[in-house]
Chain A
């Protein structure tokens, strides 16, 4: 079945530093979404980016479909960015398969 690998598993930054999160997947993805989950909180969709580069605020996602990888860049990290970032893909089925996530901690 589809597999989604995220790296690093955890990341600790000082406020103001940039973060780079990686997502690799085993099947061709027709849909790719990045989600954010605060500790004990719900999943919030950040970006939908099956191919190319997309920006929203301090977030930039770049997906190279034929290489089966996507990245999420967070610029000028803030303490409120702390939480888990999840990558999820679907392959023409509609349902998303999730990676295990990257736990980001931003220290003041």
Chain B
């Protein structure tokens, strides 16, 4: 079974530039999550989609971050303009039926962003 796919794996940009990350979840997984993991910390939820609708985006810095999942499958997370503190690994995860029964999220390898 193919896992959650993310790209790019690594990205280096200068502050005030923009960047976009792409995620393709496991086939059939209705729920998709974006997490931000800063070095030395645990993953922090940014946004949760159920199909193409947003379930929770309470921790998404909406002045600079945006995310979409237009057809209920792939998703894109964008940062514009980037700040130094956005340097982190951006993890995409997916789960079956919202994951509420099992709590099992399947994670991608992550996209490592460095903002200079």
- Whether A and B are associated in the same complex: the answer reads no
- A interface residue numbers (CB < 8 A to B): none
